[in-house]
Amino acid sequence: MLLSSRCQMRPPIDADGEELIRLWTDPTVRIFLGGSLSKDEAAARVSDLLSTRENVWVVTLIGARAREPVIGLIALHSHHDGEDVEISYSFLPEFTGQGLAAEAVDRILQHALFHMGLRSLVAETQAANLPSCRMLERIGFACVGETQRFGACQRIYRFAVPPAASSLDI
C-alpha cells in the first residue's frame, strides 16, 4: 500500500469489482478514453485486471472506514511504442478538480522511479483533455510530442530522472 496526504493506493481486490466497472462505464470518465464500455466489456476488463493485479493500484481516500470506496485507478504498463512504460489513470468525476489525481499519480510516479528503478515514464492523453495535460505538467511531466491515435490528437508526456552528476564534476 502507498499513501499520499489524502489518498491510499493499494492493489485491487475482488470487492472492488463493481466500483471498477463504474470507471469503465461512466461516460464522463471515458469521454477522452474512447467512450463508455458496455457493462459486459467493463466486467471482462475488471476480471483481467483482478487476475493479474500487477502494477495496478486502486485509489481510495484515507478515511475511518474499513474499506473506503474506489475513486480512481492507476496502472503502469507498456506504452503503444513498445519501448516505454506508461502511467495511466482514471478517476470518477466527483473526485476530479480537487488535486487528488495529481497527488495519487505523483505518488505512483515516485514509487516507480525510486522503488521500482524505472528511469522514465510516459503518459499519453488526448490533447483536448486539458485538465489531464495540466495535471501532468504540474507534477513534472514534459510534453515531448503529439500523435494521431484512436481518432484524436494525443499528447505524449515524459518524466525522466536526470542522469546522476559525474564523480569528476566538482
Please state, as a whole number, how many other Cβ atoms lie within 10 Å of the Cβ of residue 127.
15
Report the CATH number at residue 59.
3.40.630.30
Rounded-to-integer distance, Cα 82 and Cα 64, Å: 41
**Digit-coded pLDDT (tens) for 76-128:** 999 988 889 999 999 999 999 999 999 999 999 999 999 999 999 999 999 99
Rg (CA), the chain: 16
Domain count, the chain: 1
Residue 131 included in any domain: yes
| Coil/strand/helix, residue 9 | strand
Residue 169 included in any domain: no
Q: For position 81, what pLDDT does the model report?
A: 86
Q: For position 86, what pLDDT does the model report?
A: 97
Residue 167 included in any domain: no
Residue 165 included in any domain: no
pTM for the complete prediction? 0.91
Give the whole-number percent of the chain exceeding pLDDT 70: 96
Which structural domain range is residue 112 located in?
Answer: 2-160
Rounded-to-integer distance, Cα 50 and Cα 33, Å: 21
